[in-house]
């Protein structure tokens, strides 16, 4: 595992594509389970280990995941998330090019059977989904975007970008014509800003895209890399 940051209260890990964030009936292996084993082995923990993810990344998505190591940390981090004191920045390689270099996408979002639905107008069971994007580069029919989430909906970035004709490369579920050898999609949680639950200090964590990140023409380009 790639440990980005660890103390007695929080743990931040770089999740690879192909691994679920938390265990479920569909995933017997997960980042959370592996992290608990790591904590037991490295800190000689006895019995059950408390660890809880503050947010999830879809299985084919890579990047930084924040975990709370104590109940107090979890409660305070959840409250700071509700107070919108967390900021999550993603990098996405998409097919096509946005009409504007930066902008805000607003849709009405719902999901059913492992797929998100986004529309321009409200529909049954929908909630508002909002993200901001900025174009960093465009080459050979592909664009590198920086994406900031304002809301956290199921498959939100994937569905919203697809809805405006910019499917994430490798994401066949949402219309991409590209495929990656390891089943990854070109979406990476790159930067996380939050308030430490105990020290109250502002924290900014950056996770560089992994070596297998597609379309190496973007490697080393721009300030984000």
pLDDT of residue 109: 95
137 is known as an active-site residue:
no
Kindly provide the b/e burial profile for residues 141-153, where b requires at least 16 CB atoms within 10 angstroms of the residue's own CB: ebbbbbbbbbeeb
Q: What's the token pair of residue 123?
A: 């529909």
pLDDT of residue 223: 35
The full set of domains in the chain, from first to last, is 2-218 (3.30.2350.10)
pLDDT tens digits for range 105-138: 999 999 988 899 999 999 989 999 999 999 998 8
DSSP per position, 129-183: EEEEEEEEEEETTEEEEEEEESS--TTHHHHHHHHTT-PBTT-GGGT-----TTS
Give the span between the Cα atoms of 136 and 143, in whole angstroms: 8
CA distance to 12, 57, 199, per residue, from 38 (Å): 12, 20, 24
SS3 39: helix
Q: How confident is the model at residue 218 (pLDDT cuts 50, 70, 90)?
A: low
pLDDT of residue 214: 55
> Is residue 65 pLDDT above 80, yes or no?
yes
pLDDT tens digits for range 173-214: 999 998 876 788 999 999 999 999 999 999 999 998 877 665
> Is residue 216 pLDDT above 60, yes or no?
no
Give the span between the Cα atoms of 19 and 62, in whole angstroms: 9
Give the span between the Cα atoms of 37 and 40, in whole angstroms: 5
The whole-chain average pLDDT of the chain stands at 89
Q: Are the C-beta atoms of 119 and 221 separated by less than 8 Å?
A: no
Active-site residue (options: 7, 29, 33, 58): 58
């Amino acid at each position: 595992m790639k440990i980005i940051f660890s103390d007695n209260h929080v743990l931040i890990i770089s999740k690879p594509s192909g691994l679920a964030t938390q265990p479920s009936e569909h995933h017997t292996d997960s980042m959370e389970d592996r992290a608990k084993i790591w904590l037991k082995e490295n800190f000689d923990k006895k019995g059950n280990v408390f660890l809880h993810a503050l947010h999830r990344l879809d299985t084919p998505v890579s990047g930084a995941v924040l975990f709370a190591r104590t109940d107090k940390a979890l409660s305070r981090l959840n409250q700071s998330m509700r107070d919108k004191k967390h900021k999550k920045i993603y990098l996405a390689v998409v097919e096509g090019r946005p009409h504007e270099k930066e902008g805000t996408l607003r849709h009405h979002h719902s999901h059913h059977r492992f797929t998100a639905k986004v529309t321009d107008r409200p529909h049954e069971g929908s909630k508002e989904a909002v993200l901001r994007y900025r174009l960093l580069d465009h080459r050979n029919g592909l664009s590198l975007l920086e994406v900031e989430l304002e809301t956290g909906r199921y498959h939100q970035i994937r569905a919203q970008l697809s809805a405006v004709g910019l499917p994430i490369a490798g994401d066949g579920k949402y219309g991409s014509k590209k495929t990656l050898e390891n089943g990854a999609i070109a979406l990476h949680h790159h930067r996380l800003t939050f308030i430490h639950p105990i020290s109250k200090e502002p924290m900014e964590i950056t996770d560089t895209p992994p070596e297998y990140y597609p379309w190496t023409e973007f490697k080393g380009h721009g300030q984000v890399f």
